[in-house]
Each structure stands twice: as C-alpha cells, then as structure tokens.
Amino acid sequence: MLKKREGRSADALLGLLKKEFESVGLTAELGSTGESGPGRKMSEVLLEFIEPYLHYAQTGEILDRRVTTAVLAWNASLLPEEKRAEFLDEAGRAIFAEDGKQAADDFRSAMCDLVKRKQRLFSKDERIVVNYEFRTEHGRDKLVVTSVRGASRDSKEPD
C-alpha cells in the first residue's frame, strides 16, 4: 500500500511552477478539483506518459518520485521555452543542492527528455496537473490526478 504524500520539496517545486505559469499569463487554480478535459482521465494519460520508466519503480516511494518527476516535466512543457529553461535549472538546483552540479545537470537532461516526450506524444493536451495522490480503493492502489485546462490570457474562449 502506498503512503500519502506529505509536504516535500516536490510540493515547493509545484508552487514554483504555478508562479512561473502566472508570470506568463497562464492560470492554474490549485482550488480546482476533479479531473478535467474531454476524453481520457489525466491519471491514465500521466501513467502512459511515464510508462517507459515505470519498471524502475520497485517501491511506492520510487513510484511517487517517478510521478512527481512526470508532473514537473508535463507542466514545464506548457511554459514558454525561456521560462521552461529557467524553471528546469532552478528545480535541478533546488532538488540536488547537496548533490552538486552533476546531479542537477543529470536531472535537467532527464527532464528535457520527458518534456520532448510530452510534446511528441501529447502535444495537444494542455491540461495543467495541480495535484496528485495515491488512494487505496478495494485493496488496490489508484492514482488520482487533479488537473485544469491551461488558459493563456491571449487565447480566445473555445466555441
């Protein structure tokens, strides 16, 4: 059984990402609940997104880290390129402050690969992941994702 996430640096990074979104006119209201968007659930999409990396998740803790990394990369892919680079640099420094520059560079490289994967496979999906958690239902672990539709201040409302 997976433990619920508790306050961690990942939550701080998601907060940092929210500020980056706001600085470029994108909104991601953390008060939103439920899964958004037509078609597939965001939890299904997110698991497909990280599918090549799931076999490395031997424990619940490692799975949680994989999902956190996927969420950061997914959301970072929605930022303008220059803001994305700044965010990835800052995130790498924050996460690996004690591990040194090489660890931060490795993290940034892995994140860039995930961003490219998101853009290649899910380019039209502009949902912003605002939260996730693991729940146990009927004796099985389930990933529950809260997402909102990204909206640029310059974009028009859909017809």
Q: How many helices (H) and strands (E) does the chain have?
A: 6, 2
The pTM score is 0.71
pLDDT of residue 42: 92
Q: Provide the token pair at 56.
A: 């490395």
Q: Which residue has 């619940």 as its token pair?
A: 60
pLDDT in tens, 27-48: 544 333 344 445 789 999 999 9
pLDDT of residue 114: 93
Torsional class of 59: left (φ above 0), alpha (ψ -120 to 50), beta (otherwise): beta
Residue 118 Cα to chain centre, angstroms: 11
- Kindly give the parts of the chain with pLDDT less than 50: 1-8, 28-37, 152-159
